[in-house]
Structure 1
Amino acid sequence: MQLQAVLLPDDRPAAHARSEPRLIGDLAVWLVIAAELLTFGLLFVSYAFARLHEPALFKSLQATLDLERGALNTVLLVSGSAAVAHAVAAFERGRVVAARRWLLAALGCGLGFTLLKSAEIAAKVAAGADLSANTFWMFYLVLSGFHLLHVVAAAVFLAIVWWLAGRGAYGPGRTHVPETAAAFWHMVDLLWIVLFPLLYVMR
């Protein structure tokens, strides 16, 4: 992926952008999203099969996870998605200041999720959970850790968009990069919506 092409301000004329159907966001990032969804999909299926083989182990260790914290993390990511969508809409209307505020709100949600999830993972590791402890902790650490990295990456992407927006990079007809960042954030949100019930709720 040519990251420079993705992050540079979009200077295509607004009339051309609206004259024909177009992909919302950058094609290269959509390919990355497709690859990530496939990877997580394989992990989810593997987790489901492992749980079928060791239901008692998975049920007992799932009960040690904080369901309320998981629900709060869900609220944070969904709220972040809403904020990102508002930011893109604000850019389209030329309300750059409002758009940057929505991006900050999304970044706050991402930071909250990162702090809560990092603390949870650290506590489990301190209590003896590691990749070799048992099948459940292996999947928990791989899925949680891999997803957390994606949240951090999405937050960095939004921070770059926020910074460039302050330099007048985006506005009506110039929302290609914010839309790309939004697509990546929504992917992270979607993955958690599957991951949360899989790890925390399903018994």
Structure 2
Amino acid sequence: MGTLFIIGTPIGNLGDLSPRAADLLRTVDLLVAEDTRVTRKLLNHLDATTPCISYHEHSNPAQLERVLDALESGKVAQVTDAGSPTVSDPGASLVEAAVSRGHNVVAVPGPSAITTALSISGMPGDRFTFLGFLPRKGSERRSVLSAAANETGTLVAFETPQRVLSALEDIGSALGERRIAVCREMTKLHEEVFRGTASEAIQYFSGGRIRGEIVLV
């Protein structure tokens, strides 16, 4: 029986990686990544030479079996491109498969864009609903937002720079002029948090190109 470590990695600032996570990234027998090109940058930062393979929603069953075979004889770690694996991330199927084979699954907590955004948003964080990435299609996005309109806690969602203005329009339409925080490039050099209403956010961000990872609260 092997051990699968679920390791949280920085969402931007590499200094946020925990010593425990760094040690495991250097010493496990195999590292399973969402995108090996992204993870290699982190490994290079650590001067680590750990073997690394990809596993994502488009991986074939043979890749999953390769990981499970590695678990039979050693320690394996799973990471995502940034933040906590399996949270709005395709890695949950690997955890499920490892558990079904009788392997240990151990969490190595790290940064989370969800809780980071909540902590700086100024919104209540005692109860919240995470919507994941909002749908690409406007009709589906509006449906998700309308369904969440009656939630009594804070709403949190991921969005891309290319769709954030459309998402803000739909938020204003479905949820009204409630308070919103647009958190961009968190923990990075150009971190920015806009606080206001959806219509105010649209006006603010319409002036130029929007870049970086975005969390809407």
Q: Mark yes or no: TM-score above 0.5.
A: no
Query: Bigger relative contact order, structure 1 or 2, given CA contacts below 8 A and separation 6+?
Result: 1
In terms of fraction of residues, the more strand-rich structure is 2
